[in-house]
Chains A and B, each alone.
Chain A
């Protein structure tokens, strides 16, 4: 069964450093998403992406964040200058259509020191 994959599984970085989180969505899916989950809290939406552009974003997704689809398979989330409060689990998800079920990857646990 096809699944969303994410790398790395864990990332430790120093405050102020840039990080890039990578995702490979399910191959026939057209809509891609990033969510995050701070430890012990609920999953929160960051951004959705379709047709090589952002279709919607939350208040969390400020100028420090960016997304890109650099090639036909990868979908990346970049945090330019990490802050302590960026420490969280970051989940990538994809769906066939805009209102179809979203399938989540295993997540990248980001720790900012």
Chain B
């Protein structure tokens, strides 16, 4: 099976940088995804890492270290609208499962 660990809450101020960590345990591995979810909304895809290193998309970057079973999402120049929950998710590569297994989510509160 798979399990993911991420902090439950993070608080930061507008304009700051915040890093949300995710550690995972899977019997296989086929990439780490990050989704954003505003209250009452749908999970929205942010980024995906299949290989080690940093992927940058605008203000958001995501990093993966497969040897450490660890990744993080980096949010720069925080805006109030970034207040949301952020989920890391993995797919089990060994079994070829298509299902995403999500972490419990990190609630980000951006303060003025």
> Which residues on A are within 8 Å of B, measured CB to CB?
31, 33, 35, 41-45, 48, 50, 55-56, 58, 91, 95, 98-99, 101-107
- List 11 extra interface pairs beyond A43-B87, A45-B99, CB under 8 A: A33-B98, A35-B100, A45-B100, A55-B98, A58-B99, A91-B43, A99-B30, A102-B45, A104-B45, A105-B42, A106-B42
Is B48 at the interface (CB under 8 A from chain A)? yes
- Which of A44, A56, A99, A105 touches B102 (beta carbons < 8 Å)? A44
CA distance A5 to B28 in the complex (A): 32
> Which residues on B are within 8 Å of A, measured CB to CB?
30-31, 33, 35, 41-45, 48, 87, 89, 91, 96-105
Which residues of chain B are within 8 angstroms of A45 by Cβ–Cβ distance?
Answer: 99-101
Which residues of chain A are within 8 angstroms of B43 by Cβ–Cβ distance?
Answer: 43, 91, 104
Which residues of chain B are within 8 angstroms of A95 by Cβ–Cβ distance?
Answer: 98
Residue of A nearest to B85 (CB): A42
Q: Are B98 and A31 neighbours in the complex by a CB distance under 8 Å? A: yes
Known A-B contacts A42-B105, A43-B87; A104 and B98 likewise in contact (beta carbons under 8 Å): no
Which residues of chain A are within 8 angstroms of B35 by Cβ–Cβ distance?
Answer: 104
Offer 25 A-B interface pairs, CB within 8 angstroms, sorted by A. Answer: A31-B98, A33-B99, A35-B100, A42-B87, A42-B102, A42-B103, A42-B104, A42-B105, A43-B43, A43-B100, A45-B101, A50-B98, A91-B42, A98-B96, A99-B91, A101-B33, A101-B48, A102-B45, A103-B45, A104-B42, A104-B43, A104-B45, A106-B41, A106-B42, A107-B41
Q: Are A48 and B98 neighbours in the complex by a CB distance under 8 Å? A: yes
Q: Which of A31, A43, A95, A104 has the most chain B CB within a 10 Å cutoff?
A: A43
Residue of A nearest to B101 (CB): A45
